Structure 1
Amino acid sequence: MFVLYLAITLLASAVIGLAAVANLIGHDYPKRQADNMRVPHSWMLPLGLLLGAGALGLLAGFAVPVLGTLAAAGLVLYFLGAFAAHLRARDYHFGPWAVFFSLVVAALAVNLAHHGLG
């Protein structure tokens, strides 16, 4: 079980961390997504910081398990908010969202299972 927990947590942290960096440096893809979702560009920094905190929280969970669990749960909520933004904008292209959401749900599931909470 530990190997699965380790692999999924590291993968999720890396992918979410890359998304955070893309937001923080003002990469074109997150800007286009924000435009499609009618989210102001001024939100890019706070959203990037939330993603970065989530990615770091997943890693911190190796030392303090409750931090990993809370980070994974927070990321699930973050991506549920992103889903709502897609619906509000009537954008039904859920491919990239589904990848991110699946990763954070898997991270939460293995975190709970590994630490005996699920």
Structure 2
Amino acid sequence: MHTAYVIVTVLAAAWVGFSGFSLLRRAKFVVDPLVEYGVPESWWTWLGLAKTAGAIGLVAGLWIPVIGYAAAVGIVLYFAGAIITNIRARAYSSIPFPLLYMVPVIVAVGLGAAA
């Protein structure tokens, strides 16, 4: 179980970290929806840093579990906010995308609790 926890946590962190890095680099596939949803550009750097910090926190949680749990809570709340943003923008077809980042983090937490 511990091996699965480590693998899923590292993959979830890499996935969320990629998302944060893509936002910080202003990748078109990340920025275009933000413009469409009305997210102010002044928030983008902070949002990218929040995702990146969450990814780092997940990895740090392999050694200091409380940091990993705190990072996981932050990531889940972040992507819950993304889902709410999609709903407010009536972009219902985009709702699965935040879930693609949220679910692996939740699975990692579950595996960590079981390990």
Give the TM-score normalised by structure 1: 0.90
Runs of 5+ consecutive residues of structure 2 not aligned to the other structure: none
Q: Does residue 43 of structure 1 match 2:37?
A: no
What CA deviation, in whole Å up to 9, does each residue of 1:25-57 have, x standing for no partner? 111111112012210122110000000000000
Native 8 Å contact 1:36 1:91 kept in 2:
no
**Greater relative CO, 1 or 2 (CA 8 Å, sep 6+):** 2
Match of 1:113 in 2: 114
Give the Cα separation in 1 of the matches to 2:110 and 2:8: 10
Match of 1:82 in 2: 82
Give the Cα separation in 1 of the matches to 2:45 and 2:112: 28
Match of 1:54 in 2: 54
Specify the code of the residue in structure 1 equivalent to 2:104: L
Identity of paired residues, percent? Answer: 36
Native 8 Å contact 2:2 2:112 kept in 1:
no
Partner secondary structure for residue 5 of structure 1: helix
Specify the code of the residue in structure 2 equivalent to 1:51: K
Task: Report the alpha carbon displacement of residue 111 of structure 1 after superposing the two structures with TM.
Answer: 2.5
Structure 1 runs (4+) deviating above 6 angstroms are none
Partner secondary structure for residue 82 of structure 1: helix
Runs of 5+ consecutive residues of structure 1 not aligned to the other structure: none
Give the TM-score normalised by structure 2: 0.93
Alignment size in residue pairs = 114
Give the Cα separation in 2 of the matches to 1:86 and 1:20: 18
RMSD: 1.1
Give the Cα separation in 2 of the matches to 1:55 and 1:87: 25
Match of 1:30 in 2: 30
